[in-house]
Protein backbone atom coordinates (compact mmCIF):
# COMPACT_ATOMS: atom_id res chain seq x y z
CA UNK A 1 0.00 0.00 0.00
CA UNK A 2 1.53 3.29 -1.12
CA UNK A 3 1.15 5.89 1.64
CA UNK A 4 3.03 8.45 -0.46
CA UNK A 5 -0.26 9.78 -1.89
CA UNK A 6 -1.27 13.00 -0.20
CA UNK A 7 -3.33 15.05 -2.65
CA UNK A 8 -6.98 14.72 -1.63
CA UNK A 9 -8.19 13.38 -5.00
CA UNK A 10 -5.37 10.80 -5.09
CA UNK A 11 -6.10 9.72 -1.49
CA UNK A 12 -9.78 9.15 -2.30
CA UNK A 13 -9.02 7.32 -5.57
CA UNK A 14 -6.57 5.08 -3.69
CA UNK A 15 -9.21 4.41 -1.00
CA UNK A 16 -11.78 3.36 -3.60
CA UNK A 17 -9.24 1.10 -5.32
CA UNK A 18 -8.34 -0.57 -1.99
CA UNK A 19 -12.00 -1.15 -1.11
CA UNK A 20 -12.67 -2.56 -4.58
CA UNK A 21 -9.88 -5.10 -3.92
CA UNK A 22 -11.34 -5.94 -0.52
CA UNK A 23 -8.14 -4.60 1.08
CA UNK A 24 -9.67 -3.21 4.27
CA UNK A 25 -6.35 -2.68 6.07
CA UNK A 26 -4.97 -0.76 3.08
CA UNK A 27 -8.09 1.42 3.09
CA UNK A 28 -7.76 2.09 6.81
CA UNK A 29 -4.18 3.33 6.32
CA UNK A 30 -5.71 6.24 4.38
CA UNK A 31 -8.04 7.19 7.26
CA UNK A 32 -7.36 9.32 10.31
CA UNK A 33 -7.68 7.57 13.67
CA UNK A 34 -10.63 9.85 14.49
CA UNK A 35 -12.42 9.46 11.13
CA UNK A 36 -16.15 10.17 11.15
CA UNK A 37 -18.34 8.47 8.57
CA UNK A 38 -22.08 8.98 8.03
CA UNK A 39 -24.19 6.80 5.77
CA UNK A 40 -27.84 5.83 5.39
CA UNK A 41 -29.14 3.55 8.08
CA UNK A 42 -32.34 1.83 9.14
CA UNK A 43 -33.90 5.15 10.23
CA UNK A 44 -33.84 8.66 8.81
CA UNK A 45 -30.96 9.76 11.03
CA UNK A 46 -28.65 7.29 9.28
CA UNK A 47 -25.68 5.75 10.99
CA UNK A 48 -22.63 7.49 12.38
CA UNK A 49 -19.33 5.64 12.60
CA UNK A 50 -16.52 7.13 14.68
CA UNK A 51 -12.91 6.03 14.59
CA UNK A 52 -10.96 3.35 12.76
CA UNK A 53 -12.13 0.50 15.00
CA UNK A 54 -15.81 1.14 14.26
CA UNK A 55 -14.98 1.70 10.59
CA UNK A 56 -13.07 -1.61 10.42
CA UNK A 57 -16.11 -3.41 11.89
CA UNK A 58 -18.41 -1.68 9.40
CA UNK A 59 -16.20 -2.55 6.42
CA UNK A 60 -15.80 -6.17 7.53
CA UNK A 61 -19.57 -6.49 7.93
CA UNK A 62 -20.15 -4.94 4.47
CA UNK A 63 -17.56 -7.24 2.87
CA UNK A 64 -19.14 -10.30 4.52
CA UNK A 65 -22.68 -9.20 3.58
CA UNK A 66 -21.88 -8.22 -0.01
CA UNK A 67 -18.68 -9.97 -1.09
CA UNK A 68 -17.33 -8.63 -4.32
CA UNK A 69 -19.07 -5.25 -3.98
CA UNK A 70 -17.28 -2.64 -6.03
CA UNK A 71 -17.81 0.92 -7.21
CA UNK A 72 -16.81 2.80 -10.30
CA UNK A 73 -16.10 6.50 -10.10
CA UNK A 74 -18.27 8.35 -12.61
CA UNK A 75 -17.17 11.89 -11.76
CA UNK A 76 -15.04 13.78 -9.26
CA UNK A 77 -15.30 17.37 -8.07
CA UNK A 78 -12.64 18.66 -5.70
CA UNK A 79 -11.74 21.90 -3.98
CA UNK A 80 -9.03 22.13 -1.35
CA UNK A 81 -9.47 19.34 1.20
CA UNK A 82 -12.95 18.39 -0.06
CA UNK A 83 -13.59 15.67 -2.67
CA UNK A 84 -17.01 14.70 -4.03
CA UNK A 85 -17.58 11.48 -5.97
CA UNK A 86 -20.51 10.39 -8.08
CA UNK A 87 -20.30 6.62 -8.36
CA UNK A 88 -22.04 3.50 -9.53
CA UNK A 89 -22.00 0.63 -7.04
CA UNK A 90 -22.45 -3.01 -7.90
CA UNK A 91 -23.53 -5.45 -5.19
CA UNK A 92 -23.86 -9.17 -5.84
CA UNK A 93 -26.19 -11.38 -3.88
CA UNK A 94 -27.04 -14.99 -4.64
CA UNK A 95 -25.62 -14.70 -8.14
CA UNK A 96 -27.51 -11.54 -9.04
CA UNK A 97 -25.89 -8.13 -9.46
CA UNK A 98 -27.64 -4.99 -8.30
CA UNK A 99 -26.45 -1.68 -9.73
CA UNK A 100 -27.13 1.54 -7.84
CA UNK A 101 -25.99 5.16 -8.09
CA UNK A 102 -24.40 6.73 -5.04
CA UNK A 103 -22.47 9.82 -3.99
CA UNK A 104 -19.83 10.36 -1.35
CA UNK A 105 -18.20 13.46 0.07
CA UNK A 106 -14.76 13.30 1.70
CA UNK A 107 -12.60 15.66 3.71
CA UNK A 108 -8.88 14.90 3.49
CA UNK A 109 -6.45 16.59 5.88
CA UNK A 110 -2.67 16.04 5.80
CA UNK A 111 -3.10 13.06 3.45
CA UNK A 112 -5.70 11.26 5.60
CA UNK A 113 -9.47 11.03 5.27
CA UNK A 114 -11.04 12.65 8.33
CA UNK A 115 -14.68 12.60 7.24
CA UNK A 116 -16.89 10.78 4.74
CA UNK A 117 -20.60 11.18 4.05
CA UNK A 118 -22.20 8.68 1.66
CA UNK A 119 -25.61 8.88 0.04
CA UNK A 120 -27.50 5.98 -1.55
CA UNK A 121 -30.97 4.46 -1.32
CA UNK A 122 -30.48 1.82 1.38
CA UNK A 123 -34.21 0.96 1.42
CA UNK A 124 -34.31 0.25 -2.32
CA UNK A 125 -31.11 -1.78 -2.07
CA UNK A 126 -32.46 -3.87 0.81
CA UNK A 127 -35.79 -4.44 -0.99
CA UNK A 128 -34.03 -5.49 -4.18
CA UNK A 129 -31.75 -7.90 -2.36
CA UNK A 130 -34.76 -9.44 -0.55
CA UNK A 131 -36.56 -10.26 -3.84
For 58-124, what is the HEC assignment?
Answer: HHHHHHHHCCCCEEEEEEEEEECCEEEEEEEEEEEECCEEEEEEEEEEEEEECCEEEEEEEECCHHH
Q: What is the Cα–Cα distance from 57 to 3, expressed in whole angstroms?
A: 22
Could you read off the pLDDT of 38-50 as tens digits, one per residue?
Answer: 988 777 788 899 9
Sign, CA torsion 16/18/19/25: negative
User: Which structural domains are found in the chain, ordered by start?
Assistant: 8-130 (3.10.450.50)
Please give the pLDDT value at position 130.
64
pTM of the model: 0.86
Closest CA to 18 of 26, 30, 28, 8: 26
Q: Where residue 79 falls among pLDDT bands split at 50, 70, 90?
A: very high
Amino acid sequence: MDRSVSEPVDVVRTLVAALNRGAIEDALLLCADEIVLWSPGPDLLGQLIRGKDELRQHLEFAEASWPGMWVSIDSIVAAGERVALEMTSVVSSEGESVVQPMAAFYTVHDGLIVEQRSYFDLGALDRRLME
